[in-house]
Amino acid sequence: MNTSVPQTGEASSQPLARRLGLFDATMLVMGGIVGAGIFINPYVVAQRVHTPALVLGAWIAGGLLALAAAFIWAELADRMPQVGGQYAYLREAYHPLVAFLYGWVLLLVIQTGGMAAVTVTFSRYFLELTGWHAAEWQIAVVTLLLLTIVNCLGVRAGGTLQSVLMATKILAIALLVGAGAFFIRGTHTAWRPLLDQPVSPSFLSTFGAAMIPVVFAYGGWQTASFVAGEMKDPRRDLPRALVLGVAGVALLYTLVNFVCVRTLGVATLAETKTPASAVMRMALGPKGATIIALGIAISTLGFLSQSVLTAPRVYFAMANDRVFFRQLAWVHPRTRVPVIAIIAQSVWTMVILLSGSYGPILNYVTSMDAIFWTLTAGCLFILRRRTTQRSAFSMPGHPYTTALFCLACSGVVANTVYTYPGNTLIGMAILAAGVPMYYIWKRTSRT
């Protein structure tokens, strides 16, 4: 292990408080995954593949990919239960530059772009439900301010809010599945034919394109690792939370899509941009549509709460490593959370939100995420080679399963470049711009 890199947390004014348990960690894993995507993305998948078997197959494949990732991240978390999680794995396995680039695109693109889009989604549903006469951006800014304040009060306050919102999200999804399964008698699920075209490179590319919104909807399990330094027993709780949380989300996602296909059929689903609302309206009438709108609003709010809680720990770790603004490493002496890092992320999210640039950003979030998923999974090969010590939580079937996961993520990146070259190249340019910035900060820290 690279002993020249300081352990994150040692240079800060106060240590972070260890106040999160297994339940909190599991809710963080699930909350980082479940946003608005599962209520909307099914129609995008149905536009790209056209049989029930392929639609459900895409979501099941995405769940298996996410579950494999959960096992990989679980072993990494057991080996390195440090603040910053994925950032720390990349730093120790490769080079601090690789870790910096992850934090760089996390702040500029991945986390804040997604948060801006989700905040707007929440604002729209909030205004629809309340009937208030206000601009979407006003509700969005107030929402971000309130979540920022709550998380600045301490990790326990942020963790409790996140757990409550996640439990409410699970209830909303259960209501959707129950309504579609028990209140709608007709069914549109026909398992023949299995495929909509012969197996060929064109078919594989089409199925890969269908996987992009699926992968986007499953993304976010890794963010719970960012708060490893604030868990009471990260070596025990974080690996278990990753596996339990991802498995739970995969089950929920599969059930939601089965209900959507069963109720609407693939052709109608492809034309329905709000499939969850359509299912609930068919099952329970206008009251059902209102219920699911409330569920989506709570789901987006829960995702935002989780994002405000977790990602600033990466910027905190970068600042502690002296490759980012040193002020972001400051910990409030009473609440013992990185207040300035939390505020900085929320401010940048507001900038993206008010500029309206979050739409294009989302187009290349998946490719950026998949690049660093591949690199992070590769950390397992390096860390296992460096030490013969066995982990208490090992990736089953390694190295073959880990290599297969890396290959699948690389395939997502390649297919995204092929399908959306312009958007992907913009993301690559932002990533490359981080290289000179890293060396500027390194030189500044030395002087």
Instruction: Provide the pLDDT confidence category of residue 12 given band limits of 50, 70 and 90.
Output: very low
Task: Note the pLDDT of residue 52.
Answer: 92
Whether the pLDDT of residue 354 is over 60: the answer is: yes
Angle, CA of 300, 304 and 309, to the nearest 5°: 150
What is the rounded average pLDDT for all residues in the chain? 87
Helix 234-264 × helix 275-284 angle, to 10°:
60
pLDDT at 396 over 50: yes
The CA dihedral of 157, 25, 58, 419, to the nearest 10 degrees, is 70
What is the pLDDT confidence band of residue 6, given thresholds at 50, 70 and 90? very low
pLDDT at 189: 67
Instruction: Give residue-wise pLDDT tens across range 68-106.
Output: 999 999 999 888 888 788 999 999 999 999 999 999 999
Q: φ and ψ at 95, to 5 degrees?
A: -160, 150
Give yes or no for residue 11 having a pLDDT over 60.
no
Query: pLDDT grade, residue 181 (50/70/90)?
Result: confident
Instruction: Summarize the confidence of residues 178-205 as an average pLDDT.
Output: 79
What φ, ψ does residue 149 adopt, rounded to 5°?
A: -60, -45
Give me the residue label for tokens 């599945």.
177
What is the pTM for the complete model shown? 0.85
Residue 1 · residue 139 · CB < 8 Å = no
Percent of the residues in the chain that have a pLDDT greater than 70, as a whole number:
94
pLDDT level of residue 372 (50, 70, 90 thresholds): very high
Average pLDDT over residues 170-189: 84
Q: Are 165 and 302 spatial neighbours (Cβ–Cβ below 8 Å)?
A: yes
Picking from 391, 386, 183, 205, the residue whose alpha carbon sits closest to that of residue 281 is 183
Give dist(CA 209, CA 418) in Å, integer. 10
pLDDT in tens, 288-323: 989 999 999 999 999 999 999 889 999 999 999 999
Catalogue all structural domains in the chain, each as residue range(s) with its CATH number: 22-446 (1.20.1740.10)
